[in-house]
Structure 1
Amino acid sequence: MLNGTETSIAMAARQKDSLGCLSNQLHKDLELHTGEFAFYRKCRRHDKTSEVVTPASDRGFLIGVSLTAGHRRQIFSGNRSASHDFEKDSVYIRNFTDDYRADLHGAFDFVLVELSRAFITNTCYERNGTVIDGFASPLGRKDPIFGHLAQVLALTLDSQNEASPLFVEQLGVTISTHLIDKYGTAPARSDKKNPRLSTLHETRAKDMLLAKAEGNVSLGEIADACNLSRSYFIRAFRETTRRTPHQWLLEQRVERARELLAHSDSSLSDIAIACGFSDQSHFTRTFSQLVGTPPGTWRRQTRA
């Protein structure tokens, strides 16, 4: 039997990062969050095999580009699996709406970019009004453009304290634009109805999401309350509301913020916290995206 210290050590050894990798097996583990993007570099030099598991969520999409050759990945889907070999400049895309499980074989060095579904939707609308519902998965396919961008991103992550936030933001926009143009897929036409929430489940889910600002309820708990799997719930919620749970919740928080901006003298930082945003910067960025003007400007215009 393990004592308390041994248990803590064992848990630390099994600790996984936000992408499902075992943190203690990574020789390089870099992250940079800015604006609409999260950038990562994950590098492992040994030839061990490890497992990556992430449950379905509404985080959006992840694109990974291999900086080196020699990595093999076995990806599981239900009772089936497929192996993919990665060369330098090979690409893969993950949709966080799906459960993901894979065995990683051998050393690897990846740079990755995570972008939200809301950013993809807004970018498509602003550029040409098109709609995409996902990406054609180029598992293991080489993409020289992503390869060059990955090299720049790797150097940027290695010296991120010296990187210009504007440069990093534009690098994310460039990567996502190429992703949309080359791999974006239009919604499939089908006579089969997409999953939708019942009125009862929709009301229950929205009530629990609104309570999330005051607690730590997870999408898994909401799905369980509706007697649905997490991945089915996320798809059904999006089909019912035309929003992911996260998008819907942000819109409710912004609507609450508008009420406070119009009818109270609270500071922007106090309103940000009262409405469930992590800080004033997050509040200002989200409000500006959804409303079209920063909250301070909107307040002045409303009260003029």
Structure 2
Amino acid sequence: MLRKSISGTNSSVGQTTDSFGCPFDKLYKDQSLHGADISFFRKGTRDDRIEQVVTPASDRGFAIGISTVPGHSRRIFHEHHATTHVFEEDALYIRNLAEPYKADLNGAFDMLLLEISPASLIKIAQEADFSGVTMLNAETASTDPVLANLVRALVPALERPEDASRLFVDQLATAIGTHLVQRYGGKTQASSTRSRKLSRSHEVLAKNLLLENLDGQISILDVSRACNLSRGYFIRAFRETTGVTPYQWLLAERITRAREMLRSSEAPLSEVAIACGFADQSHFTRVFTNVVGTTPGHWRRNA
């Protein structure tokens, strides 16, 4: 049985601060989600001031933060001086967790955070044809609309992890990791003339595995390993072969199956939802309405 990599976590018993140094009692948002080689968090506080945040040096890797609201500022203390930075909406920071960190935080914030271990960064870089990337360049309060939009796409999954597809989270994590090493890894992508399309046998195998896991709770890594391909290469090849990503393909298959059941049977919507891989009727209704433009019940009555 596959182990889900999606989870929501709460404050650790006995701890007064989270792994980024923020006091738990100041946070009104504290969510987490774990995808392919990247851990995602959402941290928010309404307090105008959180005193001083201190985190010691560690081997955890790299932290990336994206501000979802404007007005937050930080006075960061370096060895011989301090610098002040104002974070506008979608402003980001990248810092190496191997370096100690101390800062005064001012203004309420709502941050989307990523954490990538050193080993995961190397793996992401290799799969993206950026072999040799072991570091990310430091950034503070700069902007990157592409990264901000990619990470924001995970907000619904952070809010409702029980509805989140493991396939979707892994796929988006791969895209985010590729963007990070490409823009902040300081290396040039290796040229490649290899075909990016799946062989017919790999295409059939991948689609069968996806259909056997209609709920999306199979990882990109599981499917790519079955095809003996790297995760990044598999996603690119699947998209080039089918015109869509693995998650988009599976979602279309789920909606097609749902339409067939709605048209040909009197099964309750709750049964249709489960049979087509949705968490429950509410989840089914939200996704179906978003894709088709009308609710399942209304579609059935007019089919």
Q: TM-score, normalised by structure 1?
A: 0.55
Give the equivalent residue in structure 1 for 2:74.
73
State the percentage of identical aligned residues: 40
Matches for 1:23-42 after TM superposition, within 5 Å = 23-42=24-43
The CA deviation at 1:39 is 0.9
Runs of 4+ in 1 over 3 A off after TM superposition: none
Question: Residue deviations 1:145-165, cap 9 Å, x none?
Answer: 122123212222011111011
Structure 1 spans left out of the alignment, 5+ residues: 1-11, 187-283, 293-304
Q: Show the counterpart of 2:90.
A: 89
Q: Answer yes or no: is the 8 Å Cα contact 1:133–1:185 preserved in 2.
A: no
Aligned partners of 1:113 and 1:172 also within 8 Å:
no
Cα distance in 1 between the residues matched to 2:39 and 2:70 = 24
**Bigger shift: residues 132-141 or 161-170:** 132-141
The residue number in structure 2 matching 1:16 is 17
User: Do structure 1's residue 99 and structure 2's residue 100 form an aligned pair?
Assistant: yes
SS at match of 1:145: helix
The count of corresponding residues between Structure 1 and Structure 2 is 180
The CA distance in 2 between the partners of 1:14 and 1:157, in whole Å, is 22
Q: Deviations over 1:102-144 (max 9, x none)?
A: 1111100001111111111122223325312422222111111
Letter in 1 for 2:116: L
Structure 2 gaps, min length 5: 1-12, 188-220, 230-303
CA shift for structure 1 position 62: 1.1
User: Structure 1 residues 14, 161: closer, same or farther in 2, change over 3 A?
Assistant: closer
The one-letter code of the counterpart of 1:147 is A
Counterpart contact for 1:61–1:115, Cα < 8 Å: yes
Distance 1:152 1:129, change over 3 A: closer
Partner residue in 1 for 2:254: none
**What one-letter code is carried by the residue in structure 2 that aligns with 1:47?**
D
Residues 71 and 106 in structure 1, CA contact (< 8 A), matched pair in contact too: yes
Partner Cα distance (2:49, 2:21) in 1: 16
Higher helix share: 1
The 5 Å alignment of 1:1-304 reads 15-185=16-186
Tell me, what secondary structure is at the counterpart of 2:155?
Answer: helix
d(CA) in 1 for partners of 2:83 and 2:95? 15
**What is the TM-score of this pair, normalised by structure 2?**
0.55
